[in-house]
C-alpha cells in the first residue's frame, strides 16, 4: 500500500514569496487550499499542450463583482479560446465599461428602501437602476443595427455587438473577445438585459430572430475540428452543462465512426464515439450531495464520457471572487511562453 505514501503534506512556512510560489506551496497541503494550488498546475499544463482548445464556462454574476477585467485578461492572453457565459456576465460588465460602475454595499440592508431609491442589489454590491437602463438602451441601439430577416446565433450576435462596442471604445468582455476572435456562446441569452433589449427593439418595431439550434450546431462543430479540449468552469449552471455537451455531441456520433484525427472513446451500447475532455478545472461553491450539476464531482462526468479518466482535472470548492484573481495572478507570474491557439474565426464568417 506504499502507493498511498507518495506525496507528503508540507506545512507552510510564512515568509516573503510570490503569489505563484504560495499557491504552489498550497498545492502541497490539503482540502481546498491544495485544490486551489492544483488549479494553477492544471491550467499551466493546458497552456503547454500543442493542440488544445480551451473553453471556459462562466456562470453567475461575476462582472458586478469586479471580475470582468480578469476575463478580458484571460482572453487577451488567449488563456481561453472560447467562452460560454450567462447573459449577466456579458452585459453587467458593460455598465462598468461605460464608466458607471457598481458600489460596495451591505447584504444586511432594508431592500424596500433600496428599491425606492432605485438601487439594485447583488448580495453586497449596489447598482443604479438608471445606469442599468442606460446600458440596456445602448444595447437596444445595437439591436436596431441587426438584420431582421436573418437567424442569428448567440455567438454571432455577441461578436457583432463586441465589434460595435469596441468601435465606441467600450472595452467590455464582448468587445475584447471580438477583437481577439474568441467566440462567446450564451445559451440562455434572453435571461438577462439582452432579453429586455430584444423586447425594447420589438416595441420599436424591430424583430430579431435568434436561433438556438444554430448556436448549438456551431458549438459542437468546435469539437469536430479540435484535437483535444480542456475546460475551465467558473461555477456550474447552463455554461457548464452546455460546455460538457461538446464531448458527446454532433454528426460523428451518427456516423458511427468518430472524428478523423481524434482519439475517441467508443461507447459500447450505442456504438458511437465520444470525445471526453482531456483537462478540466472547476471552481464551485455548490456541493455534490444535492445531486445537481453545479456541485457534482468531475468524476461523475467521467461516467458520462464527458471527461477523460486519465486527463488532468481538479475541482476547487471556493468562491470564484477568491479563486479567480489568485489563479490569474499566478498564471501571470508563471506563464511566459506563447501558446499555439486554435483558429475559431470560421464561426464568425456568416456575419463578418
Binding to a copy of itself (CB under 8 A): which residues in 26-45? Answer: 26, 28-34, 36
**SS3 state at 234:** strand
Closest among 15, 13, 38 to 318, alpha carbons compared: 38
Place of cell 460538457: 244
Q: Which of 51, 150, 256, 309 binds a copy of itself (CB under 8 A)?
A: 309
50 vs 269, beta carbon nearer a copy of itself: 269
Q: Which one of residues 43, 54, 82, 96 is an interface residue with a copy of itself (CB under 8 A)?
A: 96
> Measured from the CB of residue 257, what is the shortest distance to a copy of itself in angstroms?
13
Nearest CA among 199, 194, 241 for reference residue 216 = 241
Q: Per rule CB under 8 A, is residue 167 in the interface with a copy of itself?
A: no
For residues 305 and 265, the answer to whether their CB atoms sit within 8 Å is: yes
Give the interface segment with a copy of itself, choosing from 42-50, 176-184, 264-272, 334-342 (CB under 8 A).
264-272
**Using CB under 8 A, which of the segments 41-49, 96-104, 225-233, 339-347 binds a copy of itself?**
96-104
Number of chain residues interacting with a copy of itself (CB under 8 A): 143
- What is the pattern of x (binds a copy of itself, CB under 8 A) and - over residues 218-247? --x--------------x-xx--xx--x--
End-to-end CA distance of the chain: 60
Q: Does the footprint of a copy of itself cover residue 267 (CB under 8 A)? A: yes
How do strand 151-152 and strand 184-185 relate by DSSP bridges?
Answer: unpaired
Asked if 282 is part of the footprint of a copy of itself (rule: CB under 8 A), the reply reads no
SS (H, E, C) 160-171: HHHHHHHHCCCC
Residue 340 within binding range of a copy of itself, rule CB under 8 A: no
Does 78 bind a copy of itself (CB under 8 A)? Our answer is no
Among 45, 144, 199, 335, binds a copy of itself (CB under 8 A): 199
Decide if residue 165 touches a copy of itself (CB under 8 A).
no
CA nearest neighbour of 221 among 190, 183, 249, 193: 249
CB atoms within 10 A of CB 34: 15
Enzyme catalytic residues = 306
Write out 62-118 in H/E/C secondary structure.
CHHHCCHHHHHHHHHCCCCCEEEECCCCCCHHHHHHCCCCCEECCCCCCHHHHHHCC
C-beta of 231: minimal distance to a copy of itself in Å? 15
Sites for a copy of itself among residues 103-122 (CB under 8 A): 103-105, 107-108, 111-122
Least Å distance, CB 301 to a copy of itself, is 8
Burial class (CB in 10 A: 0-12, 13-18, 19+), 205: exposed
Amino acid at each position: 500500500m506504499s502507493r498511498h505514501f507518495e506525496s507528503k503534506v508540507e506545512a507552510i512556512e510564512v515568509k516573503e514569496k510570490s503569489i505563484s510560489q504560495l499557491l504552489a506551496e498550497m498545492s502541497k497541503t490539503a482540502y481546498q487550499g491544495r485544490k486551489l494550488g492544483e488549479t494553477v498546475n492544471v491550467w499551466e499544463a493546458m497552456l503547454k499542450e500543442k493542440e488544445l482548445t480551451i473553453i471556459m464556462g462562466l456562470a453567475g454574476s461575476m462582472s458586478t463583482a469586479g471580475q470582468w477585467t480578469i476575463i478580458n485578461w484571460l482572453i487577451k492572453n488567449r488563456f481561453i479560446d472560447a467562452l460560454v457565459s450567462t447573459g449577466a456576465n456579458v452585459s453587467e460588465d458593460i455598465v462598468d465599461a461605460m464608466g458607471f460602475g457598481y458600489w460596495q454595499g451591505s447584504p444586511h440592508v432594508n431592500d424596500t428602501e433600496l428599491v425606492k431609491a432605485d438601487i439594485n442589489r447583488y448580495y453586497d454590491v449596489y447598482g443604479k437602476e438608471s445606469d442599468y437602463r442606460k446600458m440596456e438602451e445602448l444595447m437596444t441601439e445595437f439591436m436596431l443595427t441587426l438584420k431582421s430577416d436573418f437567424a442569428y446565433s448567440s455567438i454571432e450576435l455577441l461578436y457583432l455587438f463586441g465589434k460595435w462596442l469596441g468601435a465606441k471604445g467600450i472595452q467590455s468582455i464582448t468587445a475584447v473577445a471580438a477583437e481577439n476572435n474568441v467566440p462567446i456562446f450564451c445559451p440562455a441569452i434572453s435571461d438577462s438585459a439582452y432579453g429586455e433589449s430584444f423586447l425594447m427593439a420589438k416595441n420599436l418595431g424591430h424583430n430579431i430572430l435568434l436561433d438556438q439550434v444554430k448556436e448549438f450546431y456551431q458549438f459542437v462543430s468546435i469539437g469536430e475540428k479540435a484535437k483535444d479540449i480542456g475546460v475551465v468552469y467558473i461555477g456550474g449552471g447552463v455554461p457548464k452543462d452546455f460546455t460538457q455537451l461538446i464531448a458527446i455531441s454532433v454528426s460523428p456520433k451518427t456516423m458511427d465512426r468518430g472524428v478523423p484525427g481524434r482519439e475517441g472513446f467508443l461507447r459500447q451500447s450505442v456504438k458511437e464515439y465520444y470525445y471526453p475532455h482531456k483537462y478540466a478545472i472547476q471552481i464551485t461553491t455548490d456541493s455534490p450531495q444535492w445531486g445537481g450539476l453545479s456541485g457534482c464531482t468531475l468524476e461523475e462526468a467521467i461516467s458520462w464520457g464527458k471527461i477523460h479518466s486519465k486527463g488532468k482535472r481538479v475541482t476547487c470548492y471556493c468562491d470564484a471572487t477568491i479563486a479567480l484573481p489568485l489563479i490569474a495572478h499566478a498564471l501571470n507570474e508563471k506563464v511566459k511562453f506563447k501558446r499555439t491557439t486554435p483558429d475559431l474565426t470560421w464561426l464568425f464568417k456568416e456575419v463578418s
